[in-house]
Amino acid sequence: MKGCAGEGFALRKAVRGCFSNDLGIHGIGDPFVLKTQDGSYYLYCTSAPDGFYCWRSEDLVHWTDRKMCYTRSSGSWGVDSFWAPEVVYFGGSYYMYYTARNAAGSLRIGLAISDRPDGPFLDKRNEPFFDFGYAAIDANVLIDEDGSKYLYYSRDCSENTGEDGIRRSEIYGIRLREDMLATDGEAVRLLTPEQAWELESGNPLWNEGPEMIKHGGRYYLTYSGNCFAGSAYSVGYAVAPEPLGPFVKAEENPVLTSQDRKDVSGTGHHSFTWSPDGTELWAAYHSHTFPDRPDGNRKVNIDRAGFTEKGKLYINGPLTAFQPMPSGAGTVNVTGKFSAETAGRDAGFLVDGCISVYGNDEGMEQEIPAAEGSVTVILTASEPVELNRIAVFPGQAGFGAISSLKIVLDNELSSKEYVICDEDTVPLILDFPIHLAKRIEVLFSLREGEMSIGLSEIMLIREEG
């Protein structure tokens, strides 16, 4: 059994096993991440005037092997505006659904196929995947548990003007044929801009970038609202009992937004994937490369996501400070093995994966009263768990009320006090000697005059190897 070396072990800021949300891929848009059968990842983006680049990764963070995976061929139906590629694996092949503009100047969705995730992808036929007589962009495919297949897309505002004179991008859905080579039936309008946060761009209005994810037997249609080139570009979601609706938008929308922050802007057009060990849901999205000058130059970001016990979707971002690597990428997130309590009361919100970034919905953040100037959180597992890292996510007030913290492992081994300083950012990630622990106490000391602290999450990590 591994243990800490003596009393008073040090807590040190973690450097290894962490990453910054700016992954170094700029000048792109609309990132889509595919996790392949062998566990590797491929990233596809709006990235070239005549096609698409892709990147490869083993851990969701470090991307290499940039190559052109689809190139417009001479005489192709698609002329320019190559946008939003998404790739689906089916029947031993990789199906890329993408957006391009035809010779008449209208946007359409195309289909290209490859036997490799990095291409080359070749058009199945030299014509759009479907043509309903209007501009369509941003394709997303769902292969349901029963094998049925559905395509979601945005009817683009460039050719969709209402009787009120407002141009709107609206999200539609349609069944796909079993072989995924054609649509099957009539398209159904699923979402239109109507919530207050979606109306900030004025005319036109946007619901675009659909991404479907299924959880608990329900269908979550996630999407982006407002203009992609503005700071208000954000992500919301709607829920339905069936893949083609009816969908009801969530009251807590948007679930990913930059709001009035100056360090990030225009968070949207996302996709979902799973961590290397399959235990964490992640959202990949783009934000403006230059937040003070939002435009079409965007970069790739990723943040953890998930669902609350009540079935509400959350995305823990945008987090611009360092955060723990995806679970299975050199470290393992063991938080789920622990329950939490404080002052004799259940504190499950501290170990549920849901981090308070902008709001206090679902009890993701709580104010915990102090006793004699301190707060103690007790984390307990049913059996000993090996770990050596803790990440503390305070509430929206940050670390302002906290002067220091220390940890006690199994009532015996106690750390030296870690003093919070002005340079500490959210989250605070601390390392300690690896230990097999069943009970962990985290002791927070408050600054003079403070009566409580806001806490959102305590993440427990084990370094692999």
Domains held by the chain: number: 2
Q: Are residues 230 and 297 in the same domain?
A: yes
pLDDT of residue 364: 65
Q: Which residues are catalytic?
A: 30, 208
Residue 21 confidence class, pLDDT cut points 50, 70, 90: confident
Between the alpha carbon of residue 422 and those of residues 107, 392, 399, 404, 426, the distances in Å are 50, 15, 9, 12, 11
Contacts of 277 (CB under 8 A, 6+ apart): 327, 328, 332
Q: Are residues 133 and 154 in the same domain?
A: yes
Q: Mapping DSSP to helix (H, G, I), strand (E, B) and coil, where does residue 440 land? A: strand
Instruction: Confirm whether 4 is domain-assigned.
Output: no
Distance CA 297, CA 307 (A): 31
Check whether 27 has a pLDDT greater than 80.
Answer: yes
Q: Are residues 357 and 433 in the same domain?
A: yes
Check whether 358 has a pLDDT greater than 60.
Answer: no
Residue 396 confidence class, pLDDT cut points 50, 70, 90: confident
pLDDT digits (tens, 9 = 90+) for 122-165: 999 999 999 999 999 999 999 999 999 999 999 999 999 999 99
Helix (H) or strand (E) holding 347: none
The encoded tokens of residue 398 equal: 């940050």
Last residue of one domain, picked from the residues 320, 343, 362: 320
Mean pLDDT over residues 259-279, rounded? 95
Residue 357 confidence class, pLDDT cut points 50, 70, 90: low
Mean pLDDT over residues 439-455, rounded? 96
Instruction: Confirm whether 6 is domain-assigned.
Output: no
Last residue of one domain, picked from the residues 299, 320, 341: 320
Mean pLDDT over residues 165-183, rounded? 98
CATH of residue 378: 2.60.120.260
Q: Are residues 446 and 309 in the same domain?
A: no
Q: Mapping DSSP to helix (H, G, I), strand (E, B) and coil, where does residue 147 land? A: coil
Q: Are residues 335 and 270 in the same domain?
A: no
Check whether 2 has a pLDDT greater than 50.
Answer: no
Contacts of 120 (CB under 8 A, 6+ apart): 69, 70, 71, 114
Report the share of the chain in percent with pLDDT over 70.
Answer: 97
pLDDT of residue 361: 54
Distance CA 412, CA 416 (A): 13
Q: Which of 104-118, 306-320, 362-376 shows the highest mean pLDDT?
A: 104-118
pLDDT digits (tens, 9 = 90+) for 80-130: 999 999 999 999 999 999 999 999 999 999 999 999 999 999 999 999 999
120: cis peptide before it, omega within 30°?
A: yes
Distance CA 266, CA 248 (A): 24
| Least-confidence region, from 64-68, 165-169, 346-350, 360-364 | 360-364
Instruction: Confirm whether 275 is domain-assigned.
Output: yes
| 416-422 contacts at long range (C-beta below 8 A, 24 or more positions apart) | 416/8, 416/9, 416/10, 416/11, 417/445, 418/11
How many residues does the structure list for the chain? 465
DSSP track, 176-200:
E-TTSSSEEEEEEEEE-S-SGGGGT
Q: Are residues 207 and 356 in the same domain?
A: no
318: cis peptide before it, omega within 30°?
A: yes
Strands 205-215 and 168-176: parallel
Contact in structure between 309 and 297 (CB atoms under 8 Å): no
Contact in structure between 273 and 34 (CB atoms under 8 Å): yes
Instruction: Confirm whether 3 is domain-assigned.
Output: no
Check whether 3 has a pLDDT greater than 50.
Answer: no
Nearest CA among 25, 31, 23, 27 for reference residue 209: 31
246: cis peptide before it, omega within 30°?
A: yes
pLDDT digits (tens, 9 = 90+) for 194-211: 999 999 999 999 999 999
CATH of residue 219: 2.115.10.20
Instruction: Confirm whether 224 is domain-assigned.
Output: yes
Nearest CA among 377, 392, 460, 450 for reference residue 426: 392
Distance CA 388, CA 435 (A): 6
Alpha helices (runs of H) in 9-83, residue ranges in sequence order: none
Q: Are residues 245 and 126 in the same domain?
A: yes
Instruction: Confirm whether 407 is domain-assigned.
Output: yes
Q: Are residues 92 and 148 in the same domain?
A: yes
Q: Are residues 218 and 313 in the same domain?
A: yes
Alpha helices (runs of H) in 242-390, residue ranges in sequence order: none
* Cβ density class 24-44: b for 16+ within 10 Å, e for less: ebeebbbbbbbbeeeebbbbb
pLDDT of residue 4: 40
pLDDT of residue 363: 56
Mean pLDDT over residues 23-30, rounded? 96
Last residue of one domain, picked from the residues 300, 320, 340: 320
| Least-confidence region, from 44-53, 167-176, 336-345, 421-430 | 421-430
pLDDT of residue 7: 59
Check whether 362 has a pLDDT greater than 70.
Answer: no
Q: Are residues 313 and 361 in the same domain?
A: no
Distance CA 374, CA 448 (A): 10
Instruction: Confirm whether 159 is domain-assigned.
Output: yes
* Residue 294, domain extent: 21-320
